[in-house]
Amino acid sequence: MKKGVIYIIILNYNGYKDTIECVKSLRQVQDLEYKIIIIDNKSTNDSLTYIHQECSDCVIIENEDNLGFAGGNNVGFKYAIENNAEYILILNNDTVVDKMFLEELINAFEDEEIGLAVPKVYFDDSTIINAFGAEKGFLEGVRNVGENVSDSEAFSKDTFVTHVMGCCMLFKTEVIKRVGMFDERFFMYLEESDLCERINKLYKIKVIGKAKIWHKCGASTNIKNQKVNYFSRYYTRRNFLLYLDKNCQGFKKWLVKTILLLKDLVYITRNFKDKKYRMIIFKAWKDYSNKNFYRSDYIQNLLLSQKSNN
């Protein structure tokens, strides 16, 4: 099959060490024409200095604000489309890739029904599965298939799925032109699930068993020694409610929202001393009700203050 230019979009926010390691692993990829586009999401450290030094062969775009996963990657989508990319790969900066992963993913598009191809994702430096695609849950939103399971023959077969984890996604450019980019209201978390809903209406999604990458899992938002990641709890709760509004209908939508509210109230009651959790869950429901989406500066400042205290 014809293999046109692939634009690889890597989003960076204060994670220059991971970004540089990711780019180094990509340089192993051969026999394909690709360009690496690094989008810096208004980093507050020395990321840009180091990235310019170590990744001078890449296109580096500096956003004037932190646009989140959705908005930041949309900058990359737009750049790739304007420059006539044949394929667009969204790749988390906290990943390391196998040298054959991209070739395997590209081959999936020999089937014209495929709109999105993703690799098998391992946890960092292991053969334990992080995700082999994803599937809809009832209350959990979307959950990874195979997570925390050792690799086996079952994960070597190409498999159709309805959803994916967003750390590595290969699209034909025409698919994004047709279904649209990420909904920037999500900012981060569940934007890829919402995009999958649109893709499923027109195309199929496939996990390619021979395509492999390794994922460090949330390096930009994890906080050491913290049992509850308040940052992710806020966005996953608020965004799941938005996701339901967009992709769920009638009684089921009402039922899931009611159960989620009761679940949150029970958790808060049992863990009443956790004042921060009460605050972020209350804010998630309030912001959803008031249609305050995109980035929450309150939550962003909470993350930065917690990181500075660790």
**Residue 269 covered by a domain:** yes
- How far is the C-alpha of 281 from the C-alpha of 28, rounded, in Å? 44
Which of 188, 215, 242 is where one domain is finished? 215
> Residue 292: phi, psi to the nearest 5?
-95, 95
- The verdict on 186 and 267 lying in the same domain is no
Tally of domains in the chain = 2
Note the pLDDT tens digit of each residue in 240-270. Answer: 999 999 999 899 899 999 999 999 999 888 8
- The verdict on 34 and 91 lying in the same domain is yes
Distances, alpha carbon 305 to alpha carbons 68, 106, 294, 302, 309, in Å? 18, 42, 20, 5, 6
Q: Write out the residue range of the structural domain in which residue 203 sits.
A: 6-215
pLDDT in the model for residue 225: 45
- The verdict on 201 and 136 lying in the same domain is yes
pLDDT in the model for residue 230: 83
* Largest CA-CA distance found in the chain, in angstroms, rounded: 60
- How far is the C-alpha of 53 from the C-alpha of 61, rounded, in Å? 14
Helix or strand holding residue 204 (H, E): strand 204-215
**Residue 221 covered by a domain:** no
Token representation of residue 186: 């999500």
- How far is the C-alpha of 118 from the C-alpha of 164, rounded, in Å? 7
**Residue 220 covered by a domain:** no
**Residue 158 covered by a domain:** yes
- How far is the C-alpha of 232 from the C-alpha of 218, rounded, in Å? 10
Which of 157, 187, 215 is where one domain is finished? 215
- Let me know: does 213 contact 119? Beta carbons within 8 Å: yes
**Residue 86 covered by a domain:** yes
Q: Is the pLDDT of residue 11 over 90?
A: yes
CATH number at residue 160: 3.90.550.10
Closest CA to 42 of 8, 14, 6: 14
Of the chain, the percentage scoring pLDDT greater than 90 comes to: 80
Q: Is the pLDDT of residue 307 over 80?
A: no
- The verdict on 145 and 254 lying in the same domain is no
- The verdict on 116 and 200 lying in the same domain is yes
- Let me know: does 241 contact 185? Beta carbons within 8 Å: no
Q: Please state the pTM of the whole predicted model.
A: 0.92
- The verdict on 288 and 183 lying in the same domain is no
Token representation of residue 99: 């040298």
- The verdict on 43 and 95 lying in the same domain is yes
> Angle CA(77)–CA(79)–CA(81) in degrees, nearest 5?
65
